[in-house]
Every structure is written in C-alpha cells, then in structure tokens.
A and B are shown apart, each in its own frame.
Chain A
Amino acid sequence: EVQVVESGGGLVKPGGSLRLSCAGSGFSFSNAWMSWVRQAPGKGLEWVGRIKSKISGETTDYAAPVKGRFTISRDDSIDTLYLQMNSLETEDTGVYYCTTIALTVTTNHYYYMDVWGKGTTVTVSS
C-alpha cells in the first residue's frame, strides 16, 4: 500500500523553528516528486512547496508566504521528506500534509497530488 506518514508537529513560540518529517512506503520514494500542503484551522488548503526527485534535479519551489523561511529536503536513503520551518509566525499554525506528486506519461505532463498523509499539527503561539 502506498502511504506517507507525517510527524514532528507540535507547539512552538513565534520566531521558533520546527522540522517536520514524512516517511514514505509502498512506492519508489527516490523517483517521487513530493510536496507539502497546509491548512489553517477552519480555512482552505494552501500549497507550501515541492521538491523534485534527484534525477529531476532535486529542485524546490515554494509559496510566497514561506519562501526564505521554510526549506524542503529529502533523504532518499531512508525514504523521508522534510520540512524545515524557521522564523515561525502565528499564521503558520495549521495541519501540514505531505503528498506524493504523480505525473502522467501523456504528451502533456499533468501533475497531481495523489497520495496524502493524515497530517501533523503545528501550533505557533506564545
């Protein structure tokens, strides 16, 4: 079964740091593009960023609100994705989901976030 499981959430003070982890299983993690999506309490979904596979250059892209503060990385040797969050703000509070990114093999490359974890909760509060 393909699955991803997030961990590392918790309570942190504004200005603090936290690192989330996401363990993948049931698929070729090293070939997978991965992403993080978050959801503030009672709000909608917000894409945080993605990381490509090593063979695709392992490049990263981020949403504007987190650029320069958050870093996505991966350790393919242990099938784990990370989200390093620095300079945390109260607006970063929410549930953080890890997802796999699938790609169609048609002429047009369609990307979609197909497998989601259950999420891990981050609370930024003094």
Chain B
Amino acid sequence: DIQMTQSPSSLSASVGDRLTITCRASQSINSYLNWFQQKPGEAPKFLIYAASSLQSGVPSRFSGSGSGTDFTLTISCLQPEDFATYYCQQSYSTPWTFGQGTKVEIK
C-alpha cells in the first residue's frame, strides 16, 4: 500500500497568513493526488484533484502543486473559514490512502 505522510500535523496561523502543507507519498504517484478540507462535525469537502486542479467553487486562494512523491497545498491569504483539518489522498492505486491530516488552528 502507498503511505501518505503530511507535515506538519498541526499548525497555528493568523488570518491573512500564507501557509503551506506538505504531503509525501511512499512511492511515485505521478499527479494522482487530491486534497480535502474538513471542519469539526462536518463531512470532508473536496478541494483539489490531479495535484493542482481546483474544484469548481473553491476559492482561488487555494492552490496545489507537485508530482511524483512530493506535493503541497498552499493557502495564499488565510481566511477565518479556512481553519480546519486538511487531508491529502492518493488515487494512483487501490487501496486509496489518506494522509493523517494537518490541523490548522487560529494563533
């Protein structure tokens, strides 16, 4: 199985900050990488597919990059509604696997 490792596991940030979350795959997954956002008590929300393609309706302050084994999710100007947990997920091969999550908290 492909292991997905996110870093950091948690971070504190302020509104307006630029932040980057890293996701690393245990083997090359080309660009088969998706990102999700989850707020407490809610279902996950799909953000980005194919490493860098923004889902329709997702604000442009979100962006993704990378290929092979190393990927990043960047939020260019953090907004109050962005405080949540973010997960990466590979769809290169089954079983699909998620990273452990990165919790973004208010500083």
Please list the residues of chain A having a beta carbon within 8 angstroms of any beta carbon in chain B: 35, 37, 44-47, 49-50, 61-64, 97, 102, 104, 108, 110-119
Considering the chains assembled together, what is the distance between the CA atoms of A125 and B104 in angstroms?
32
Smallest distance from the beta carbon of B93 to chain A beta carbons, Å? 10
CB-CB under 8 A for A44 and B44, given A108-B31, A110-B49, A112-B34 = no
Residues of A within 8 A of B36 (CB): 45, 113
Say yes or no: B30 contacts A108, CB within 8 Å. yes
Smallest distance from the beta carbon of A94 to chain B beta carbons, Å? 13
Main secondary structure of the interface of B (DSSP, over half): loop
0/1 per residue, B77-107, Cβ < 8 Å to A?
Answer: 0000000000101010011111111000000
Residues of A within 8 A of B45 (CB): 116
Considering the chains assembled together, what is the distance between the CA atoms of A97 and B98 in angstroms?
14
- Give which listed residue, A45, A62, A112, A117, contacts B49 with CB less than 8 A: A112
Say yes or no: A110 contacts B95, CB within 8 Å. no
Q: Give the residue among A45, A115, A119 with the most B Cβ atoms within 10 A.
A: A45
15 further A-B pairs in the complex, CB-CB below 8 A; given A45-B98, A104-B50, A110-B50: A44-B98, A44-B99, A47-B97, A50-B94, A61-B94, A61-B95, A104-B49, A110-B49, A111-B32, A112-B34, A112-B49, A113-B34, A113-B36, A116-B44, A118-B42
- Give which listed residue, A35, A61, A108, A114, contacts B46 with CB less than 8 A: A114
Please list the residues of chain B having a beta carbon within 8 angstroms of any beta carbon in chain A: 1, 30-32, 34, 36, 38, 42-46, 49-50, 53, 55, 87, 89, 91, 94-101
Considering the chains assembled together, what is the distance between the CA atoms of A119 and B43 in angstroms?
7
Considering the chains assembled together, what is the distance between the CA atoms of A49 and B89 in angstroms?
14
Say yes or no: A114 contacts B55, CB within 8 Å. yes
Residues of B within 8 A of A61 (CB): 94-95
Considering the chains assembled together, what is the distance between the CA atoms of A5 and B96 in angstroms?
22
Considering the chains assembled together, what is the distance between the CA atoms of A62 and B1 in angstroms?
12
Say yes or no: B98 contacts A108, CB within 8 Å. no
CB-CB under 8 A for A112 and B1, given A44-B100, A45-B89 = no
CB-CB under 8 A for A45 and B101, given A111-B91, A114-B46 = yes
